[in-house]
Structure 1
Amino acid sequence: MVKLHIKKGEESHFLYETNVGVSVEDLIIQLVRLYNGRLKVDRLCQEIELLSSHGILLPPNMQGLTDEQIIDLKLKDEYADTCIPCGGHTDNPDPVGRRNGRAPNEKMKEVLHRTISEARAAISKNQVAAKVCMTEEIISDSLDKLRGAIMIVYPMNLPPYDPIRLEFEGQEDLTGSQASLAVLEESTAQLWWAGKELTRSKKLQDFIGRNEKTTIIAKLQKKGQGAPAREPVFSEDAKKEMMSYAYRRQEELKKLEADEEDSYLNAQWADPHELKRSFQGLRDIKWGSGLK
């Protein structure tokens, strides 16, 4: 099986395992689903963190209003008394006014935080270094764990407009949000390798050959962004090692040059008494034990 190290720009995302006979069309669709799935898990983790701190989302017509404004406008959160966390709540007002400030108790918070940590670890970019390949099962399992944690803490479910519930039901609307900029479309996404776009109508082996036991770095991006920057010839670790070796070599040369500057002092021609001994016939005299 060939492994693809998927990047978007310079950012590493995940490893994916496939075979060289797969069509580029099917490969791109699968990669986009995994890429968007990881984004979905991350969005849920962010919202659940806010939920654990400040409670459920207020109705859209109450968000951002002060308590005085809500009273003056005679607005009421009809889900405040039904969508309550298991075991009661603690008051923690939301500084931005999006949530009702009724946070779960510490025990229920621990359930949410532990599940968030597990989900994030499963889709983490550290999985690339650990050589763990991303699969739909990993994404699905992470979503199921997050959904289960929400049902434990909020057995009466969340309001129908809450982004967490909408994400679980596949009805999220990211229009106009920052998150929408990161999402890729299956029909228009492009896959690049070695500075060239992989044509959807061809197979992967048409570009990388038939060798299954290989790993390539491929870049996934939106259509119309042009060719992505090519990968550097040397990795950052290799560059650091080369610089370290060059520095050590430079220091060794400096040391050798310093030694050569003083080495002549031990040479015979540099001895100031050598000429005198030569005239007196005292050169190369070997002193032995027989002399008296």
Structure 2
Amino acid sequence: MVKLKFKKENEGLFIMETTLEKEVSVILDYIVQVQNGRLKVERLCYEIGELGKHGISLPPNMQGLTDEQVSELKLKDEWQEKCVPSGGTRHSKDDIGRRSGIAPLENMQKVLNDTVEEAKQKVSKKHFENNKVLTNEDVKDSLAILRGAVTIVYPMGLPPHDPIQQEFENNEDISGTQMAKEVLEGDKIALWYCGKEMTPTDKPLSHFLGKNEKTTVIIKLSKKGHGCPAREPVVSEQEQKLMMAHAYRRQEELKKLAENDDAEYLSSPWADPGALKQQLHGVSNIKWR
């Protein structure tokens, strides 16, 4: 099995294990599927955290309005009576006015928060640093446990306009947001290995990587038509920090040596003309208190 380490703009994405017989087009589809699935998990983790804090999402026509404006316009959220969390509710106002402010109790909030942390760990970017493989099954498991936790806390379901429900139904609309820029599109991505673009994509990996299955390679992602991505730095960021720290310490030592007086040696024990006499008389180590 060959190990592929995918990077985008020097940022590690995830690691995949496969065979050299796989076509590049298949690998490309897998990259899009796993990375976009991970981004979905990250979006869900954020929204579920907000769900635990402030309850379900308000209808779009009520979001951002003050209580006075809602009363004046005679608006009412009919979903608040339908989507009630298990065990009861508590009031926790959402300052930005996206959610109802009727939140689940602390024990149910803990269920959501614990599940969010578990899901984050399953798709964490630290897997790349730890040389651990991330699979599409890990992404699916994360989505499954998030859905299960929401169902436990809100057995009657969530409103159709709630971002969490839209994510579960793959109806989310993130256009115009920063998150939309991170989503990968298979027809707009180019894969690069050793400064060469892996085209045509109907070729197997062995056409570009050779015949050795027991190897690890770095494959970089870039937008089509944007040319070759930047090369890997000669030293890692951690090694660079260590080198800079060493250079700084050396510089400080040289400064101290330059500031020392040429006659400083006179205060050294070996330069004392009476040192031998004191040592013979046994009074060389006398200290005054």
- TM interval, shorter chain, is 0.7 to 0.9
User: For the aligned residues, what is the CA RMSD?
Assistant: 2.4
Q: Counterparts of 1:180 and 1:245 in 2: how far apart (Å)?
A: 42
| 1:238–1:177 distance in 2 versus 1, CA, 3 Å | closer
Who is 1:274 aligned against? none
Deviation at 1:177, TM superposition (A): 2.0
| 1:248–1:80 distance in 2 versus 1, CA, 3 Å | closer
Who is 2:206 aligned against? 205
Counterpart code for 2:60? P
Query: Between Structure 1 and Structure 2, how many residues are aligned?
Result: 255
Matches within 5 A, 1:77-156: 77-156=77-156
| 1:240–1:151 distance in 2 versus 1, CA, 3 Å | same
**Larger-Rg structure:** 1
| 1:229–1:150 distance in 2 versus 1, CA, 3 Å | same
Q: Counterparts of 2:243 and 2:57 in 1: how far apart (Å)?
A: 54
Asked if the contact 1:16–1:133 (Cα under 8 Å) also holds between the matched residues in 2, the reply is yes
Q: Counterparts of 1:130 and 1:22 in 2: how far apart (Å)?
A: 25
Counterpart code for 1:234? V
Who is 1:218 aligned against? 219
Q: Is the deviation greater in 99-108 or in 201-210?
A: 201-210
Aligned-partner SS, 1:14: strand
Q: Counterparts of 1:218 and 1:178 in 2: how far apart (Å)?
A: 25
Aligned-partner SS, 1:99: coil
Aligned-partner SS, 1:46: helix
With normalisation by structure 2, the TM-score equals 0.82
| 1:70–1:241 distance in 2 versus 1, CA, 3 Å | closer
The gaps in structure 1 that reach 5 residues or longer are 252-292
Matches within 5 A, 1:258-273: none
| 1:78–1:201 distance in 2 versus 1, CA, 3 Å | same
| 1:238–1:20 distance in 2 versus 1, CA, 3 Å | farther
Q: Counterparts of 2:154 and 2:50 in 1: how far apart (Å)?
A: 14
The gaps in structure 2 that reach 5 residues or longer are 253-289
Cα offsets for 1:47-73 (capped at 9, x unmatched): 111111111000000001111111111
| 1:201–1:107 distance in 2 versus 1, CA, 3 Å | same
Percent of aligned positions that are identical = 53
